[in-house]
Structure 1
């Protein structure tokens, strides 16, 4: 089968070209299975879809879909899956939806996949969805973390954390997706405990609940002395100075305040060891 092109589709009348740009029938815009990593059934996505649907039904305008030619005819969506889905809902609801504004996506197959994460016009992917993108870039296309970092505009440590999250069990990923556990905690637990991360995170959730927290964050599993207290300690020491022999002479209220800060730090250290 010969490769399809925008030029051929314009010549055949499949794509209409006007002063406003290129337009194609909604039925000729196709979605490639497995390409988009977004969970369409996710509550956050469903709410965003509903908002977009209502916006379009009320005459709102959105940016054109970024697409590539499909050899079997029509085009593949690269960026704009949610808009396409909502256009279909509008048509089903009786709103005339004939032709959709499109623009050609310029880039190779790797750049197409990365585009899912770099779009500024869509609902941002969740951490778990981003993890699926970087995993495919790493495993299918054999890209290094540095190469992925440049493609998706994320730091190398962030990409490394997403790759670690992509290897976590489904249960651990669900904890991150639901917001019960922060990404950095999940990654730390997976790196340290591997397949046992799920059991450790369950204890972390119990610990968070015990202190009235709905989400397991690093401050829950590895608390730190507050910046305010640390600055106060430095301030107190600065007030009396340090002798050439390294002696700090404190007394009265200042000494009591320093002991209080030290006691708090010792308690935090014991808590971290217990975790």
Structure 2
């Protein structure tokens, strides 16, 4: 027979926790705190989340902290708050009469208190993301904020559950020129590849990546990758054939008079080297 939660609480297997709720209109978004970039992509994700809620989907409690001017600031749950506001504006939230004033209809949102410093709050929105991953540039903004708080790369990596290399790559892109960032934002190049090119070419990385994108698109590719930048590769057997023919030709010369202005090369070995080169070099 299935045991009830009440019985489990009585037996000490489950503890009762105080539920915290806040009126929807008392949830506030702190200006400049959210890492997400405003635009069509964000709006589309909010619309999808609103539809999920309208269809009966359950969302996690929002994390909040007190707001001196009244209400609370949202630490984690900005998209959830906006989705609820969208549903409320469409009259799709079940508002109920207030206990204090039955004429006032209210909708209360499940929340929980956030504990931590200002830097911890930034780390929280980086590590949460609630099924809608931050873009590389949004992550870069978060990592740069944490560095401004005095956090080391190792501290950031440990806090957000990423590798040191990942954090360094994303920060490199976050500090790159706008032409590089625009290519990353458009999905034409990954943050990893962009970071590598920035480290190699500095301020000229944007031009390099732009040229590589044209080359990639000309060959039917949609974006720049490490593979498209390498160009044609030479099979190992063909390279070995070139090396062998070169070694044979050099060995046939014996001692070379450095003052001599000409050398006599064995015809057969020269033809062998030419054949190996013809098979190795791209046409």
Q: Same fold (TM over 0.5)?
A: yes
Tell me which interval the TM-score lies in, with the shorter structure as reference length. 0.7 to 0.9
1:117–1:124 Cα contact (<8 Å) kept: no
2:71 to 70, 74, 79: 74
Paired position in structure 2 for 1:196: 204
Match of 2:25 in 1: 27
In structure 2, do the counterparts of structure 1 residues 224 and 154 end up closer, same or farther at CA, with 3 Å as the change threshold? farther
Aligned with 1:121 (options 114, 120, 130): 130
2:194 is matched with: 186
The residue correspondences of 1:89-104 to structure 2 (distance < 5 A) are: 89-96=86-93, 97=95, 98-104=107-113
Size of the alignment, in residue pairs? 218
- Summarize the alignment of residues 163-242 of structure 1 with structure 2, pairs less than 5 Å apart: 163-222=171-230
> What is the deviation of 1:42?
4.3
2 CA distance for matches of 1:56 and 1:20? 24
Hey, what's the Cα distance between the residues in 2 that align with 1:94 and 1:222?
A: 56
Runs of 4+ in 1 over 3 A off after TM superposition: 223-226
Q: Deviations along 1:55-112, whole A, 9 cap, x unmatched?
A: 1222322111011111222111111000000111001001235111101112221111
Larger Rg: 2
Which structure 1 residue ranges, 5 or more long, are not aligned?
A: 1-17, 234-258, 271-275
CA distance in 2, matches of 1:177, 1:215: 12
User: Is the Cα contact below 8 Å between 2:35 and 2:138 reproduced in 1?
Assistant: yes
Aligned with 1:148 (options 126, 146, 156): 156
Instruction: Normalising by structure 1, report the TM-score.
Output: 0.72
TM-score (norm 2): 0.70
- Give the root-mean-square deviation of aligned CA atoms: 2.5
> 2:170·2:192 contact (CA, 8 Å) conserved in 1?
no
